[in-house]
């Protein structure tokens, strides 16, 4: 039976990425070796890494004066690396969910943190809008897409101070005005590659302003200078990332991808709003187009596990909501075909008919 992978991350990758990555496991670009066993210093892999960085720049239209690096440690290490490299006295953070609050916790180890607004008291069901970022902050940090709660800031905010963003779960889902940002980071395991590599896009001028000593591995400048080859990088995830980046270009780039993403999310939200069994969990204007969270309406609460089983029997994978929200979460990352969203909608309609 066809499986429809709605997992929040690690998550669906394109067939193109999986097919080409699988082929490279057997024979990496005619070398007669597996990608899993080649030296990262060999010319073939150095070329892969260079091309992947160049394609990130091309796809996101990264202006001059920025560096693109592949790092280890997941997005969670960026919660620490960002303040390590950028926070001298004070930083401002927007608290929109679990990942944002994890980032806040780490930043507090390095200086004063001004949480400019939080929707925690409402279980992060909306994105706070009325907040002010003090001009005395070293930077303002926000999470563009809240993977667990299903809210998203699908715009690049104006800001008087340096702008830092965790784009782990919506990078490459839309065009971004990179020139507004000083640092963007994203774990790969949603819209890019298997887990194991983290992408960072850093404005050159943002670095070198903190007084503290920075351990070599945690200093962005180390990885920029050595073009992501200071130590052994995650070779296979970077190879897979390159395949995804090629696929994105073939699809027509981020404007086309955003249009498809908007369509996929719209048909699913329309069904949630129409279907008597379900309701969305977050403010309509803040709905994420990557992670669609929904629960059973109160009068149908007892049907929740039944719907889970029904969906799973129909090939739907990974739609159980995170424990802090409950209900269901369908993650519609770039590689998710519209036909899978339609398949989910069809079973929601079928379950409604049966109940
Ligand atoms: C928005 C966001 N930030 C950070 C993380 C943590 O990423 P990692 O597991 O790579 O540390 C996640 C993981 O799902 C995420 O969704």
Tell me how many degrees the CA angle 106-191-54 measures, rounded to the nearest 5: 95
Yes or no: say if 118 and 142 are a contact pair by the CB < 8 Å rule.
no
Yes or no: say if 96 and 151 are a contact pair by the CB < 8 Å rule.
yes
Calculate the average pLDDT of the chain: 98
What does the pLDDT read at residue 334? Answer: 98
Residues 191-222, buried b or exposed e (16+ Cβ, 10 A)? bbbbebbbbbbbbeebbeebeeebeeeebbbb
Protein residue whose Cα sits closest to atom 4 of ligand 1: 75
- Is residue 236 domain-shared with residue 299, that is, in the same domain? no
What does the pLDDT read at residue 139? Answer: 98
Strand partners, 95: 118
- Is residue 195 domain-shared with residue 86, that is, in the same domain? yes
Known catalytic membership, residue 166: yes
Average pLDDT rounded to a whole number, residues 339-351 = 98
Average pLDDT rounded to a whole number, residues 37-56 = 97
What does the pLDDT read at residue 345? Answer: 98
What would the pLDDT profile of 204-220 be if each residue is shown by its tens digit?
A: 999 999 999 999 999 99
What would the pLDDT profile of 165-186 be if each residue is shown by its tens digit?
A: 999 999 999 999 999 999 999 9
How many structural domains does the chain have? 2
Average pLDDT rounded to a whole number, residues 61-78 = 98
What would the pLDDT profile of 187-207 be if each residue is shown by its tens digit?
A: 999 999 999 999 999 999 999
pTM of the model: 0.98
Percentage of residues in the chain having pLDDT higher than 70:
100
Q: What order do you get walking across the sheet with 328-331 strand by strand?
A: 278-280, 291-296, 328-331
- Is residue 273 domain-shared with residue 237, that is, in the same domain? no
What would the two tokens of residue 37 be? 């066993």
- Is residue 31 domain-shared with residue 153, that is, in the same domain? yes
Locus of tokens 């069904």: 271
What does the pLDDT read at residue 123? Answer: 97
81 CA to middle of ligand 1, Å?
Answer: 14
Q: Which protein residues are within 6 Å of ligand 1, measured from CB? A: 9, 74-76, 99, 143, 147, 166, 168-169, 187
What does the pLDDT read at residue 108? Answer: 98
Average pLDDT rounded to a whole number, residues 76-92 = 98
Strand partners, 287: 151
- Is residue 226 domain-shared with residue 259, that is, in the same domain? no
Q: Model confidence at 239, in pLDDT bands (50, 70, 90)?
A: very high
3 within some domain: no
- The one catalytic residue among 95, 156, 170, 190: 190
320 CA to middle of ligand 1, Å?
Answer: 18
Known catalytic membership, residue 99: yes
- Is residue 189 domain-shared with residue 130, that is, in the same domain? yes
Tell me how many degrees the CA angle 19-21-26 measures, rounded to the nearest 5: 100
Cα separation, 145 vs 336, whole angstroms: 17
- The one catalytic residue among 99, 138, 219, 320: 99
Q: Which of 8, 72, 73, 76 to mutate to test the pocket of ligand 1 (most atoms within 8 A of CB)?
A: 76
SS3 54: helix
Q: Which of 251, 278, 306 is the last residue of a domain?
A: 251
- Is residue 37 domain-shared with residue 84, that is, in the same domain? yes
187 CA to middle of ligand 1, Å?
Answer: 6
Known catalytic membership, residue 130: no
What would the two tokens of residue 8 be? 């929040």
Protein residue whose Cα sits closest to atom 1 of ligand 1: 168
What would the pLDDT profile of 10-30 be if each residue is shown by its tens digit?
A: 999 999 999 999 999 999 999
The CATH number that applies at residue 296 is 3.90.1150.10
Q: Which of 203, 231, 251 is the last residue of a domain?
A: 251
What would the two tokens of residue 205 be? 């001028």
Treating both helix axes as pointing N-terminal to C-terminal, what angle do 15-26 and 235-251 enclose, rounded to 10 degrees? 140
Q: Which of 235, 251, 267 is the last residue of a domain?
A: 251
Domain that holds residue 57: 15-251
Q: Model confidence at 156, in pLDDT bands (50, 70, 90)?
A: very high
What does the pLDDT read at residue 158? Answer: 95
Q: Which of 7, 99, 107, 192 to mutate to test the pocket of ligand 1 (most atoms within 8 A of CB)?
A: 99
What would the pLDDT profile of 276-294 be if each residue is shown by its tens digit?
A: 999 999 999 999 999 999 9
- Is residue 173 domain-shared with residue 296, that is, in the same domain? no
- Is residue 125 domain-shared with residue 95, that is, in the same domain? yes
Yes or no: say if 183 and 198 are a contact pair by the CB < 8 Å rule.
no
What does the pLDDT read at residue 182? Answer: 98
> Which residues 6+ apart lie within 8 Å of 154 measured at CB?
144, 170, 174, 289
185 CA to middle of ligand 1, Å?
Answer: 10
């Amino acid at each position: 039976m066809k499986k429809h992978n709605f997992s929040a991350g690690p998550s669906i990758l394109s067939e193109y990425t999986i097919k080409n990555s699988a082929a490279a496991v057997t024979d990496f670009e005619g070398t007669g070796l597996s990608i899993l066993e080649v030296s990262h210093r060999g010319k073939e892999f150095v070329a892969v890494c260079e091309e992947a960085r160049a394609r990130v720049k091309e796809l996101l239209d990264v202006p001059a004066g920025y560096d693109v690096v592949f790092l280890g440690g997941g997005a969670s290490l960026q919660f620490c690396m960002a303040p390590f490299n950028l926070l001298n006295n004070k930083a401002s953070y927007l608290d929109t969910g679990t990942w944002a609050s994890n980032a806040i916790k780490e930043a507090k180890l390095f200086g004063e943190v001004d949480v400019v607004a939080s929707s925690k008291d409402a279980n992060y069901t909306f994105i706070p809008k009325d907040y002010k970022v003090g001009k005395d902050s070293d930077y303002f940090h926000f999470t563009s897409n809240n993977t667990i709660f299903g809210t998203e800031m699908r715009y690049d905010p104006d800001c008087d101070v340096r702008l830092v963003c965790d784009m782990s779960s919506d990078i490459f889902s839309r065009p971004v005005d990179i020139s507004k940002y000083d640092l963007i980071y994203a774990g790969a395991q949603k819209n890019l590659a298997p887990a194991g590599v983290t992408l960072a896009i850093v404005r050159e001028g943002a670095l070198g302003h903190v007084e503290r000593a920075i351990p070599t591995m945690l200093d962005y400048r180390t990885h920029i200078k050595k073009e992501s080859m200071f130590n052994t990088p995650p070779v296979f995830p970077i190879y897979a990332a390159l395949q995804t980046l090629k696929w994105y270009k073939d699809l027509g780039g981020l404007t086309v991808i955003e249009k498809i993403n908007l369509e996929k999310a719209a048909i699913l939200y329309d069904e949630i709003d129409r279907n008597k069994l379900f309701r969305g969990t977050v403010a309509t204007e803040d709905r994420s187009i990557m992670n669609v969270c929904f629960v059973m309406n109160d009068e149908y609460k007892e049907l929740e596990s039944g719907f889970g089983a029904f969906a799973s029997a129909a090939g739907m994978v990974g739609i159980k909501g995170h424990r802090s929200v409950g209900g269901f979460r369908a993650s519609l990352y770039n590689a998710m075909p519209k036909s899978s969203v339609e398949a989910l909608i069809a079973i929601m309609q079928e379950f409604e008919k049966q109940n």
